[in-house]
Structure 1
Amino acid sequence: MSGERLVIKIGSNVLTDARGRLDRRSFRRIAGQIKKLRKQGKQIIMVSSGAIVCGSEKLKLNLAQKTIPQKQAAAAVGQTLLMNYYAKFLRPLPAGQVLMTTFAVSNKERSQNLRNTIEQLLRMRVVPIINENDSVVVEEIKFSDNDMLSARVAALLKADKLLILTDIDGLYDSDPRANPQARLLRVVDKITPEISKMAGGAGTHKGTGGMFSKVQAARLAVKNGIETYVLNGSRRNVLIDALERQTAGTRFKAAK
């Protein structure tokens, strides 16, 4: 197959408004860009969080107060809703759901099966939409919000680029929510201990603007030769701008 291969990770915070409720405009905005990229001949693999948020809204649950079993139940209900939204806004492109757990990319045989499935979907011009199976997996609910999963998928599929959409413009040299003078880093040549510290350090799974897990994901991706971007998913045409090297987010250069 020809065409640049992109893995696009969409965080739950990109799909919700300021009150934490689903924002249908976000689905429309992201889907519109994906359709444009497909017209350009690019291969698109999506990794999307959001099942728990979708299920919580449907079941009228308070996300902040739910137990792990309640979150897993919300994910079971919400995953169908999440896929319905994507299927609706991606039309006429077909979307295919791929639910997985982290050991699917750590076991050689399972990794090969996963790769074969996604490669077949791409050959059939389907947009694969991957999510960790939150209804049975606890770790993702507690920690990664699919950041590391997206990097592992990108490495497995030998993607050209990984684009991580979140609710902040990129990596800053300090927390922009606490420091109005914080400076956005446009390009990171190498992920050094200093860069990791800017992202929040190893003592937290989120860090500055939820950056720690994203920088960890970028570290894995660039190590595998995959250029990585952290972008504000609420920005109009942010995917297009980043790929055309317009001013958008933070770009982590791939290791040579």
Structure 2
Amino acid sequence: MATAVASQDGSARAGARTSAGDQAGASPAGGEARDEVTSARRIVVKVGSSSLTTAAGGLDADRVDALVDVLAAAHGERREIVLVSSGAIAAGLAPLGLDRRPRDLARQQAAASVGQGLLVARYTASFARYGRRVGQVLLTSDDTSRRAHYRNAYRTLDQLLAMGAIPVVNENDTVATDEIRFGDNDRLAALVAHLVRADLLVLLSDVDGLYDGDPSTPGTSRIAEVAGPADLEGVSIGSAGRAGVGTGGMVTKVEAARIAAAAGVPVVLTSASRAADALLGRPTGTFFHRTGRRSTGRLLWLAHASAPRGALVLDEGAVRAVVDRRTSLLPAGISAVEGEFTAGDPVELRDATGRPVARGLVNFDAREMPKLIGRSTRDLARELGPTYEREVVHRDDLVVLAP
């Protein structure tokens, strides 16, 4: 089971925890409702494969229907729901005679091709019981990084919601390569929450929250609220769940919660069986308070979903300029170049010790960089032409990484 494991000294520093006695049974219905949940109008709900499938890998119709019952009840005049659903690859295993999730990308894509149709058909039939329509939206990370793709994805999702439909979003596994994959649907859900300007993200799995130890062990506590990174000090995050049909675990869920919270979207992390309580604002699961403000979609992708194609090593002055003053990176501040990349690719910006301090979209090819290193833009323009009198990474295409 996906768990959070306490540090070796057993410390429990998070701001709010429930006793071990709250681990089992129905979620608490009493207590104050979470205002940020009850006031949320546009909500992204993410559900994992293990909450939708049987142990053999096929879709569990009863589980799907139970989730739809909750979402249909929450969907109405005041609330809009975007569902980010895993399960395509898992649903395709049994029909293709596979007894476990394949490791190679080609067979994963084949399973997704079979399973995606089954998954959407099941959602379509289940939501039809309530007169609700669904629309399938398949995304790759390119769709959150390329300006035109990002804009089109937002328009499609926004229009589906305006027409009363429920978008069912998944990663486009059938065409995604290792270089353009989100890696897990938890991260995808955080980016979709930002993309559609959601008021709330709800992450559903087979665990009813983040714990400071193995939830099956007496004496462990559920972390009820996380106000910021300090509340998770001393807590290390466990591995993936027991079902073995998905790619995520508590690690990816906490990381997704951090991404969304930093982008101004509060998060509830709980089990699929407690989805109704989560959407009603009852104190179930772990609630991540927003820690930042909404940023541009491109910068959010750059920080959390991009795969750097290379690295630029900065001198001490350039690190201060980029990190502290948030200025553009000029050639004069670069001391070394690593990797093969072309103009427009994401690259990592590192200090002299190799520590990543920022990411940015580079304006030059790697093969051009050696003649630029350590030189002023004025000298470069005089020698090579006016096109070289510009930043290597513009500040509008640069994001500073948290230490």
**Shorter-chain TM-score range:** 0.7 to 0.9
Match of 1:241 in 2: 277
Q: Structure 1 vs Structure 2: percent identity of aligned residues?
A: 38
Cα distance in 1 for partners of 2:233, 2:250 equals 11
Mapped contact 1:140–1:146 kept (Cα < 8 A): no
1:77 lines up with 2:114 in the alignment: yes
Task: After TM superposition, give the deviation of residue 243 of structure 1 in Å.
Answer: 2.9
Cα distance in 2 for partners of 1:196, 1:26 equals 35
1:64–1:131 distance in 2 versus 1, CA, 3 Å? closer
Deviates more, 1:63-72 or 1:132-141: 132-141
Residues 96-116 of structure 1: CA distance to partner in whole angstroms, max 9, x if unpaired? 000110121122221111001
Match of 1:26 in 2: 63
Task: After TM superposition, give the deviation of residue 32 of structure 1 in Å.
Answer: 0.7
Letter in 1 for 2:120: M
1:199 lines up with 2:237 in the alignment: yes
Cα distance in 2 for partners of 1:65, 1:229 equals 31
1:185 lines up with 2:223 in the alignment: yes
1:221 lines up with 2:260 in the alignment: yes
Mapped contact 2:84–2:168 kept (Cα < 8 A): yes
Gaps in structure 1 of 5+ consecutive residues: none
1:146 lines up with 2:185 in the alignment: yes
Match of 1:168 in 2: 207
Mapped contact 2:90–2:101 kept (Cα < 8 A): no
Letter in 2 for 1:48: S
Match of 1:17 in 2: 54
Task: After TM superposition, give the deviation of residue 140 of structure 1 in Å.
Answer: 9.9
Cα distance in 1 for partners of 2:195, 2:115 equals 27
Match of 1:44 in 2: 81
Q: How many residues align structurally?
A: 247
Mapped contact 1:196–1:212 kept (Cα < 8 A): no
For residue 245 of structure 1, give the secondary structure of its aligned residue in structure 2.
Answer: coil
For residue 174 of structure 2, give the secondary structure of its aligned residue in structure 1.
Answer: coil
**Whose radius of gyration is greater, 1 or 2?**
2
1:119 lines up with 2:158 in the alignment: yes
Match of 1:211 in 2: 250
1:107 lines up with 2:146 in the alignment: yes
Mapped contact 1:144–1:213 kept (Cα < 8 A): no
Mapped contact 2:211–2:222 kept (Cα < 8 A): yes
Mapped contact 1:196–1:215 kept (Cα < 8 A): no
1:143–1:112 distance in 2 versus 1, CA, 3 Å? closer
Mapped contact 1:169–1:248 kept (Cα < 8 A): yes
- How well do the aligned residues superpose, as a CA RMSD in angstroms? 2.6
Match of 2:172 in 1: 133
